[in-house]
Amino acid sequence: MSIIPILKDIGRGAQGARHLSRPQAHAVMTQVLDGAVSDLELGAFVMALRMKGETLDELCGFLDAAHERCLRLRSDRPVVLIPSYNGSRRLPNLTPLLAMELARAGARVLVHGPVHDPQRVGSAQIFHDLGLPRAQDQADIHAAWARREPAFMALETLCQPLQRLLNVRWTVGLRNSGHSIAKMLHPLGALRCLRLVNSTHPEFTALMAQWAQRERADAMLLRGTEGEPVADPRRQPRIDTYAEGQACPEACVAAQQGVVTELPLLPRDNDSASTALYIQSVLAGERPAPAPLARQAHAVLQALRVLEQGQAAPTRQML
């Protein structure tokens, strides 16, 4: 079935485009993820949405389609889900440090993202340099958790059709809706999971807050570091946390005000090997963790306690 009628609706520019309903968004993303559209149609689709911008109904419909094609994972306790899709360009990518600190504190942590980004330093390479194997299945994830380590699973393993959509970026030169969907993935069904969601502009921040509230999501929202869902080590960002769509004050952090008077000791280079060595030194107690990251880790653990207390609630539907 052609998506040309959909393209006519969404491809009229920011002012003239029509928004899709959630069922319509689900239907078109089903075709996209199943490879049922031509390359030309796919390029037109991602560019039209880029110009129009996605609504909440559209993102939720897209997410529904992605979940239907996502590997189903299991856990008997709430999990911290960390989508790592941007990597770093200037600062060190400290998403693996946050994940390691949380895992050492007893949290079950699953990081997911691409295996390689030719333009940035991704979490996959840093985990490799830290000696952490990439998870290929459920057993590998549980083995990492048993060792009190975070599990890293490549998106191509977790949801291969979605990785194909993200790969369109290397053809058209721009990110697309797939990157937003990846941040919202919940591969553990009805289990309560805290999703750490980064935003890079105020409009997306507001949209994610609406999503958390309307869909009763467990989510930590923040403006992260170069697109990664980890607090900027130089200045504390605002962190808003939701449990079942309700604000969770004990797991929220106010933004730092005023002039920064002290900067953390960070590695001089931001390549994966230098970042891995820095992370090892922090974990060994040789260097202090950046204060904003430590506050974020504390907030995550606070949120997990709230989720664990509510885990006995009636079974929830996948978001």
Report the range of poorest mean pLDDT among 152-156, 263-267, 282-286: 263-267
Closest by CA position to 194, among listed 229, 155, 216, 220? 220
Residues 265-271 have a mean pLDDT of 91
Average pLDDT, the chain: 93
Each residue of 241-264: pLDDT tens digit? 999 999 999 999 999 887 666 678
Residue with tokens 């970026």: 169
**Whether residue 319 has pLDDT greater than 60:** no
Residues 1-14 have a mean pLDDT of 84
Helix (H, G, I), strand (E, B) or coil at 234: coil
**d(C-alpha 221, C-alpha 138), whole Å:** 27
Closest by CA position to 166, among listed 158, 150, 155? 155
Give the pairing of strands 239-243 and 219-222.
antiparallel
In the prediction, which pLDDT does 200 show?
Answer: 84
**d(C-alpha 26, C-alpha 139), whole Å:** 31
In the prediction, which pLDDT does 315 show?
Answer: 38
* CB distance 204 to 73 below 8 Å: no
Residues 88-96 have a mean pLDDT of 95
Each residue of 12-48: pLDDT tens digit? 876 788 999 999 999 999 999 999 999 999 999 999 9
Each residue of 156-185: pLDDT tens digit? 999 999 999 999 999 998 999 999 999 999
**Whether residue 312 has pLDDT greater than 80:** no
- Residue with the bigger pLDDT between 302 and 118: it is 302
In the prediction, which pLDDT does 261 show?
Answer: 61
Beta partners for residue 198, in sequence order: 222
Tell me what percent of the residues of the chain surpass a pLDDT of 90: 83
Each residue of 194-211: pLDDT tens digit? 999 998 888 999 999 999
* CB distance 267 to 193 below 8 Å: no
**d(C-alpha 191, C-alpha 15), whole Å:** 40
Residue with tokens 């996959």: 124
In the prediction, which pLDDT does 264 show?
Answer: 83
Walk me through the domains of the chain, giving residue ranges and CATH numbers.
4-67 (1.20.970.10), 79-309 (3.40.1030.10)
- Structure tokens, 19: 């928004």
**d(C-alpha 120, C-alpha 91), whole Å:** 10
Q: How many CB atoms lie within 10 A of CB 257?
A: 7
**Whether residue 317 has pLDDT greater than 50:** no
Q: Which amino acid is at 4?
A: I
In the prediction, which pLDDT does 1 show?
Answer: 63
Give the pairing of strands 246-247 and 239-243.
antiparallel
Closest by CA position to 256, among listed 240, 234, 235, 241? 235
Residues 270-288 have a mean pLDDT of 96
- Residue with the bigger pLDDT between 189 and 299: it is 299
Beta partners for residue 194, in sequence order: 80
Residue 196 buriedness (CB in 10 A; 0-12 / 13-18 / 19+) = buried
SS (H, E, C) 122-166: CHHHHHHHCCCCCCCCHHHHHHHHHCCCCEEEEHHHHCHHHHHHH
Each residue of 119-154: pLDDT tens digit? 899 999 999 999 999 999 999 999 999 999 999 999
In the prediction, which pLDDT does 318 show?
Answer: 37
Tell me what percent of the residues of the chain surpass a pLDDT of 70: 95
